[in-house]
Structure 1
Amino acid sequence: MKRLSIFLLLATFAYSSEITLGVVPQQSPLKLSKKWLKVTSYLEQQTGIKVVFKTEISIPKFEKELYSGNYDISYMNPYHFIIANKKQNYKAFIRANKNIEGILLSKSKKVEFTKENLENKRFLFPAPNAFAATLLTKLELKEKFGFDIDKQAKVLYVNSHDSVYKGISREVGYLGGGIVRTFNNFVNNADKKNLHIVYKTSSYPSHPIAFHPNVDKKIINKLENAFLKMPEELKKLLSIKNFIKTNSNEYEVIKKLDVENK
């Protein structure tokens, strides 16, 4: 009887295992929850581990939680990972197979990337440390065209990629930063039809899913296998063709970029 009680206790503990999944808010929390709650349900079915979806109302608030180590695992941009790895020793283990690149959008079909055309224009970005949408586009305009957005133009941060797209369509700004995946997912057709991609950055390893060092490696192995076997309908919901294994070393290339937000 005592042995049975111990068995039941261990079984209950295993079933009640719970971890948090923090997701960077590239879209509104409501839009993200409609996608990721289906993913966390799938992960729980596959692993027996309860995965609790979490996000924040803005990217800076997400960064604060991430850098404090408040997520067990987290889907973050590559720049976030470099900082989270340094501050909390998060380790990357899964990412989308496709690399990431930043885009600039405008209502104009063609934009002249010259000082005369861009000076004092308003640029919209989702957040100061959005990797591809903000940091890469700023870096490449400075390196390729000699134009320093922060010093020679006006910058407005609007919390999400969708807000950038709406703002450019409604002439709140002249150019706005985003990424192809979130632009493809932008469903407001009245605004989307007004927008044109006028610039694309170089590509880099995409958003990793990383784990806090306090999480048991056996749990991570189970989650890794579940992501790799994820059904097509769920991957389509996330606009990800396939997941692949990754590791922290793959993101060393990000450290070599001069993208620190001054």
Structure 2
Amino acid sequence: MSQDSNNLNAQRRQWLASALVGAGQLIYSANALAATQTNATSQTASKTWRLAVVPQLTAVEMTRNWTPIVSALAQAGLNMELVIYPSISKFEPEFLKGHADFVFLNPYHMVMAKRTQRYEPLLRDARPLEGLLVVKADGPVQAIEQLKDHRLSFPAPNAFAASLYIRSMLERKHHLAFDAHYAGTHRNAIRQVLAGDSAAAGVVRTTLEQEPPEVRQAVRVIYTTPPLSPHPLAAHPRVPASVRQQVSQVLLALADKPETTALMGAIQMPSPQAAIYAKDYAPLEQLKIEKFVVVE
């Protein structure tokens, strides 16, 4: 065998050895990546996420409405700790301090959550949000001007459409002086009107529609705010994109099935759609209602 043939065979053996080493490294890298992804999936499946919900109704009602949603998420491998507070002011630190992984909150809360903790909205209902000012149906008040210097009940200072937005409109557009009282929830605000403790109450239309027929018939709407984007479900930036997507898929599926549509209606999201901060909530920053915000 010639010297050239020996050299060629030696080169071939070296190339083959290098190829085998490279293939081995590629297989190792693929296996390592798969193991990492499997481990990450396992950790995600075993993790319990914190879901905080703005208390529009009583704690009992909010728990009853949201428990089926939490159960559906659990069946999909997403364990949630449902956190319900007795008042909106006690709920607000959940997103202001970044405690909640997921949070259902009002539109201006979304602005505050984005500014402070970079939360991102995932879903919102297709139906716009409207704030209402209601009075006793058989009472004398027929116009906003008649509420001057009277006590008005609101769920909380930062309940957006039911309080924050209405108060800003009454002061800026109607130049109305009034005594604001914060009842803790929409339910309480309405009942203070029925009891004669307040002349009017701020609520949102979707919450009023959840009241018993006798309550709805006992009040009358005298003012409606311009429509706005409704309450979103938002996620903290620490939540992986895959988990956010899975949560959205579960809720969209619930709304799409006739047998579970009512569950989404109970949480005021019967027709959920993707929420985009820049389009749906960034415009609220231009309302310049910071002076009416109260942070405890």
TM-score, normalising length: structure 2: 0.79
Corresponding residue for 1:75?
104
Q: Indicate whether 1:225 and 2:249 are aligned.
A: yes
Equivalent AA in structure 2 for residue 196 of structure 1: R
C-alpha displacement of 1:96: 0.9
Give the counterpart of 2:59 among 26, 29, 37. 29
Q: Whole-Å Cα distance in 2 between the matches of residues 181 and 167 of structure 1?
A: 19
Q: Secondary structure at the match of 2:121?
A: strand
Equivalent AA in structure 2 for residue 34 of structure 1: R
- Answer yes or no: is the 8 Å Cα contact 2:135–2:193 preserved in 1: yes
Q: Whole-Å Cα distance in 1 between the matches of residues 205 and 232 of structure 2?
A: 17
Q: Indicate whether 1:113 and 2:113 are aligned.
A: no
Q: Indicate whether 1:174 and 2:182 are aligned.
A: no
Q: Secondary structure at the match of 1:106?
A: strand
Deviations 1:183-222 (A, max 9, x none): 11123x5544321111100011111111101111110010
Which ranges in structure 2 are unaligned for 5 or more consecutive residues? 1-30, 255-259
Bigger radius of gyration, 1 or 2?
2
Q: Whole-Å Cα distance in 2 between the matches of residues 241 and 14 of structure 1?
A: 28
Give the counterpart of 2:74 among 44, 48, 58. 44
Give the counterpart of 1:160 among 149, 165, 185. 185
- Identify, as 1 or 2, the structure richer in helix: 2
Cα RMSD (Å) of the superposition? 2.0
C-alpha displacement of 1:89: 0.6
Deviations 1:153-190 (A, max 9, x none): 11110100000111111111001100011111123x55
Q: Secondary structure at the match of 1:203?
A: coil
Corresponding residue for 2:25?
none
Q: Whole-Å Cα distance in 1 between the matches of residues 78 and 199 of structure 2?
A: 46
Q: Whole-Å Cα distance in 1 between the matches of residues 92 and 44 of structure 2?
A: 30
Q: Whole-Å Cα distance in 2 between the matches of residues 14 and 89 of structure 1?
A: 21
Alignment of 1:92-241 (within 5 A): 92-107=121-136, 108=139, 111-114=142-145, 117-147=146-176, 152-187=177-212, 189-230=213-254, 231-241=260-270
- Answer yes or no: is the 8 Å Cα contact 2:113–2:119 preserved in 1: yes
C-alpha displacement of 1:136: 1.4
Which ranges in structure 1 are unaligned for 5 or more consecutive residues? none
Work out the number of aligned pairs and report it: 249
Higher relative contact order (CA 8 A, sep 6+): 1
- Answer yes or no: is the 8 Å Cα contact 1:169–1:192 preserved in 2: no
C-alpha displacement of 1:44: 1.7
Q: Whole-Å Cα distance in 1 between the matches of residues 252 and 269 of structure 2?
A: 12
Which moves more between the two structures, 15-24 or 202-211? 15-24
C-alpha displacement of 1:112: 2.2
